[in-house]
């Protein structure tokens, strides 16, 4: 009540939405902090820690893996105060906490995007809650990984583009393209998201009969992608040439399909959305087809399929045996949206629908958390690579040299400050000769 008058319904709904968003953020953040990893989990995280600490101390920015300068910068911002004010020597905790923070922010942008796209509060709530407890989302945001950062940039990009479409604000179009461009400096493999982004931009312009409509599309595309193109060119110019220097146009064109790839995808999908999630996702797709939501289906399926094709290509970035489930953390998000769509239809159209929808949502969330709980619980109490390095530090002489595989060597250098002789992963005459000379 304001001055004896009732507040407008829109204001009440907006206030409720803000409370829901804040609650989702806090729940997501606390969940990730509670099960935060006991140390740095992956060798990429150690490379990041080294780059962040060097940048905060000297201002020299060293890229991680193929670049990922934005990943380094964001983590440097959160490490700066602990290091310079409180004298914290290691960025380990800062990196893990920042990843948890971005995991929670991703949940917020999931809500904002799905609300903007579907204009359905329950669907937005269900989507974001499922993402908060999702197996892939939790495993990648309780330790230092790039996927939560990618989620934030990609979901924010889609959100601002959809908002620009509905409000005709070109500054939001520009922001959307810039955010997608900046995502390339988190993970270069975010590049294929340009395809669903373009489909989302074109969706309102299904009729191309009029000249004015075509001119509008060109104008909107210029606003949307001018910043993105500049950042794309910059990203390729500063790529780590050690990894990508040998790539050619032929690597992108020569498609090399792996027969077991579909089996990988099916397995990863079951891990991402355990029963009854995948069953509800199928219902959601069927309902969208029945409701003739062609533009939404095209956008959501392009979001998934572009990566299914991308990772099936043996010449780009990764061999199939190296395609980890975490790579699908962002590409599989539409399946969560399909589940939420099915639940929202039940919520609004079926007798006792609200009760049924909330029960099904609870089951999906609980089953997902039960699936991931043993992993995040164990990782919260044990960091094997870190513990091994500290064991070596405590039980070997200070001038001793450790022989280790390349990935493990990074942990010995970071946690134990040991001299390392790297043992070759591939045994052949050349690698054995190099290894022998090092010894």
Residue 72 in contact with residue 89, Cβ under 8 Å? no
- C-alpha to C-alpha distances, 64 to 10, 70, 129, 246, nearest whole angstrom: 46, 10, 32, 18
| pTM exceeds cut of 0.95 | no
Is the residue at 275 inside a domain? yes
Residue 182: CA atoms inside 13 Å, Cβ hemisphere, count?
Answer: 19
Asked whether residue 2 is assigned to any structural domain, the reply reads: no
My answer on whether 371 and 397 are in the same domain is no
Sign of CA dihedral 390, 395, 399, 404: negative
**184 in Cβ contact with 234 (< 8 Å):** no
Assigned domain for 352 exists = yes
Rounded to a whole number, what is the largest CA-CA distance in the chain?
A: 87
Whether 1 is covered by a domain: the verdict is no
Q: Which pLDDT value is given to residue 404? A: 83
Strands 419-422, 401-404: pairing kind:
parallel
Specify whether 423 is located in the same domain as 290. Answer: no
**Could you list the residue range(s) of the whole structural domain that residue 432 is in?**
384-438
pLDDT tens by residue, 68-120: 899 999 999 999 999 999 999 999 999 999 999 999 999 999 999 999 999 99
**Is 247 domain-assigned?**
no
Of the candidates 352, 381, 410, which is a domain's last residue? 381
Q: How far apart are CA 358 and CA 338, in angstroms?
A: 16
Same domain, 377 and 409: no
- Domain contains 331: yes
User: Which of 381, 409, 426 finishes a domain?
Assistant: 381
Mean pLDDT within 33-61: 94
- For residues 223 and 179, membership in a common domain is answered with yes
Whether residue 126 is found in the same domain as residue 220 = yes
Domain check: are 234 and 97 in the same one? Answer: yes
> Scanning the structure block, which residue is given the tokens 């390729």?
236
- Domain end, chosen from 334, 356, 381, is at 381
| 260 within a domain of the structure (yes/no) | yes
> Does one domain contain both 335 and 349?
yes
Q: Are residues 372 and 423 in the same domain?
A: no
Query: In the prediction, which pLDDT does 3 show?
Result: 45
* Helices H / strands E in the chain, number of each: 20, 2
Are 80 and 100 contained in the same domain?
Answer: yes
Judged against a pLDDT cut of 50, whether residue 248 lies above it is answered with no
pLDDT, position 170: 95
As a whole number, mean pLDDT of residues 142-169 equals 96
Q: 87-101, 126-140, 233-247, 317-331 — which is least confidently predicted?
A: 233-247
Rounded distance between C-alpha atoms, residue 367 and residue 389, angstroms: 35
What is the per-residue pLDDT across 363-404, written as a single tens digit (0 to 9) for each?
999 999 999 999 999 999 999 889 988 898 888 887 888 888
Cβ–Cβ < 8 Å for 370, 364: no
Q: How many CB atoms sit inside 10 A of residue 271's CB? A: 17
Banded model confidence at residue 195, pLDDT cuts 50, 70, 90: very high
Coil, helix or strand for 324?
Answer: coil
User: What's the pLDDT at 275?
Assistant: 85
Contact 96, 52 (CB under 8 A): no
Residue 393 and residue 354 share a domain: no
Q: How far apart are CA 304 and CA 347, in angstroms?
A: 26
300 and 393 within one domain:
no
**Quick one: 304 and 431 in the same domain?**
no
Tell me what the mean pLDDT of segment 163-179 comes to. Answer: 96
- Whole-number Å distance between alpha carbons of 191 and 184: 6
Is residue 197 in some structural domain? Answer: yes
User: How many structural domains comprise the chain?
Assistant: 2
Phi then psi for residue 396, to 5 deg, are -130, 160
Q: Verify cis geometry, omega within 30 degrees of 0, for the bond prior to 77.
A: no
């Amino acid at each position: 009540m304001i001055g004896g008058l009732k507040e407008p319904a829109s204001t009440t709904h907006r206030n409720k939405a803000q409370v829901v968003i804040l609650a989702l953020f806090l729940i997501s953040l606390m969940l990730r902090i509670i099960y935060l990893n006991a140390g740095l989990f992956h060798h990429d995280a150690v490379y990041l820690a080294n780059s962040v600490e060097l940048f905060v101390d000297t201002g020299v920015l060293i890229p991680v893996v193929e670049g990922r300068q934005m990943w380094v910068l964001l983590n440097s911002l959160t490490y700066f105060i602990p290091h310079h004010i409180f004298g914290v020597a290691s960025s380990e905790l800062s990196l893990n906490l920042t990843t948890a923070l971005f995991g929670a922010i991703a949940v917020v942008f999931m809500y904002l995007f799905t609300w903007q796209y579907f204009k359905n509060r329950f669907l937005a709530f269900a989507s974001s809650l499922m993402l908060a407890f999702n197996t892939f989302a939790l495993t990648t945001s309780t330790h230092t990984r790039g996927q939560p950062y990618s989620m934030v940039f990609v979901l924010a990009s889609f959100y601002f583009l959809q908002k620009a479409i509905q409000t005709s604000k070109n500054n939001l179009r520009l922001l959307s393209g810039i955010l997608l461009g900046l995502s390339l400096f988190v993970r270069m493999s975010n590049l294929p998201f340009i395809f669903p982004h373009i489909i989302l931009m074109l969706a309102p312009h299904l009729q191309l009969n009029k000249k004015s409509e075509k001119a509008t599309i060109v104008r909107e595309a210029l606003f949307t992608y001018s910043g993105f193109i500049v950042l794309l060119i910059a990203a390729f110019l500063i790529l780590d040439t050690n990894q990508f220097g040998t790539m050619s146009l032929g690597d992108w064109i020569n498609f090399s399909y792996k027969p077991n790839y579909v089996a990988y995808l099916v397995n990863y999908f079951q891990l991402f959305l355990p029963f009854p999630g995948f069953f509800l996702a199928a219902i959601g797709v069927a309902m969208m087809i029945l409701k003739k939501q062609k533009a939404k289906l095209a956008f959501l399926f392009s979001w998934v399929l572009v990566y299914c094709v991308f990772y099936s290509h043996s010449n780009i970035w990764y061999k199939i045996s190296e395609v980890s489930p975490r790579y699908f953390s962002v590409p599989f998000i539409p399946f969560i949206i399909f589940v939420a769509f099915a639940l929202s239809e039940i919520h609004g159209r079926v007798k006792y629908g609200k009760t049924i929808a909330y029960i099904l949502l609870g089951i999906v969330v609980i089953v997902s958390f039960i699936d991931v709980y043993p992993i995040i619980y164990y990782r919260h109490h044990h960091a094997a690579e870190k513990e091994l390095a500290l064991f070596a530090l405590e039980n070997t002489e200070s001038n001793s040299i450790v022989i280790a595989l390349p990935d493990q060597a990074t942990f010995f250098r970071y946690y134990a400050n040991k001299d390392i002789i790297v043992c070759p992963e591939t045994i052949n005459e050349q690698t054995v000769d190099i290894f022998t000379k090092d010894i």
